[in-house]
Amino acid sequence: MTLPRISFVIMLLSLLGIMPAAAQQVRTPPPGTSERTQILDALRPSPGSKIRFVVHQMKVIKGKTATYAYAVVAPSKQEYDGGEYLLKQDGGWRVIWSVTGGGTDDCRTAAIYYQSALRLFQAEGIDPDGVNPQIHEEYLRLATFSAEDPDCTALGDLGPDLPVSDEKGDDRDGPQPGNQARSRIAPHPRFRAPVTQADLDGDGKPDAISVVHILPGGAGRDLPLGIVIANPWDSDASAQGLTDEDQTMALVVENSRTSTRYLLHSPYVEISARVGAGPPVGVERANTRLARGFRKDCPDLRHDFLRMATEAGIDIALFWNAGTSRYDVCWPNEIP
């Protein structure tokens, strides 16, 4: 039986100070401010409690309909287990979601609980990575454990339940824990499917581009029949196939001309999302100045394409090469 610990991975990362910079809509109330005090007061076990907190992380986030706060705290004298909290400002601050130490839940329940926070952020137009990138990673980890071991138990007490979305197709937001379909491909929880559309194959119809998470091999999981696997970022034949390991982020492109689905995998997908602080790809049209610039180096780029960011500061283009009937990457000949 698997026994992962939830929540405190996030706390340790905060302690080590390796969280990425927050998005513009996310801010940290300075110590001593009234706003910070009010948030901490909402976390106290009882009104008037004199418990002092060690604050590992505190963010205030403006959403579409309300203001939220995310905090990772622990009592300074360890009077009880600390944890992570999501609060909503509604006349005052109140806790609407939390994971604290102490109890246990099955991994499937814990994964769905983390997914509920991601769905709230999505509905409010909030980038979860700007709050804490470990939230969706913890969800994926717990969903994977659940799929591998139905008896998996996670350490941690789950707090209030967030409302469940009634939107059709809401289950596309992430891998469903314990799903009996056992597919290795699951929609990424940060991005709806499809994340964008573009006429990549030049037939005048939009091709759907989705961001996915590739679950580990084994445990009865396999890839869907008919899907074409490729790594156009690396020409080495040994890099084209998938390993049995987990891959946090990849792309699935469905060509409208043939309805063929392509699973395009590479570390560059996740790198582009991290560098660009958003979706890993952006659509660029075939008749733009940028397209003409790319075609000087890559004349096979004829139609709409997907622009991606790199750590070197040079954008690259993912495009459909009609001459070879495959996806290629254009690396422009320029110095960053």
Distances, alpha carbon 224 to alpha carbons 184, 217, 251, in Å: 8, 13, 14
Query: Of 125-134, 156-165, 222-231, 286-295, which gets the smallest average pLDDT?
Result: 156-165
Q: What is the extent of the structural domain holding 191?
A: 185-330
Are 273 and 138 in a shared domain?
A: no
231: its two tokens:
């790594």
Could you tell me which residues come within 8 angstroms of residue 170 by beta carbon, excluding any fewer than 6 positions away? 119
Are 153 and 202 in a shared domain?
A: no
Backbone angles phi, psi at 21, to 5 degrees: -65, 145
Are 81 and 23 in a shared domain?
A: yes
Are 201 and 308 in a shared domain?
A: yes
Are 12 and 119 in a shared domain?
A: yes
Q: Which burial class, exposed, middle or buried, applies to 227 when counting CB atoms under 10 A from its CB (0-12, 13-18, 19+)? A: middle
Are 13 and 140 in a shared domain?
A: yes
Are 90 and 221 in a shared domain?
A: no
Closest CA to 210 of 182, 177, 188: 188
Are 228 and 292 in a shared domain?
A: yes
Q: Name which residue leads in pLDDT, 119 or 252.
A: 252
Could you tell me which residues come within 8 angstroms of residue 311 by beta carbon, excluding any fewer than 6 positions away? 271, 275
Query: Averaged over 99-114, what is the pLDDT?
Result: 84
Are 145 and 204 in a shared domain?
A: no
pLDDT score of 334: 63
User: CA-to-CA distance for 294 and 300, rounded, in angstroms?
Assistant: 10
pLDDT score of 326: 95
Q: Which helix (H) or strand (E) holds 146?
A: helix 134-148
Are 115 and 50 in a shared domain?
A: yes
- Is residue 2 in some structural domain? no
Spell out where 9-62 has E strands: 26-27, 53-62
10 Å Cβ neighbour count for 115? 25
User: CA-to-CA distance for 231 and 326, rounded, in angstroms?
Assistant: 10
pLDDT score of 97: 95
28: its two tokens:
């940290």
pLDDT tens-place string over residues 125-156: 888 888 887 888 888 888 877 776 777 888 78
Whether 217 has a pLDDT exceeding 80, the answer reads no
Whether 321 has a pLDDT exceeding 90, the answer reads yes
Whether 296 has a pLDDT exceeding 60, the answer reads yes
* Predicted TM-score (pTM) above 0.75: no
Are 42 and 134 in a shared domain?
A: yes
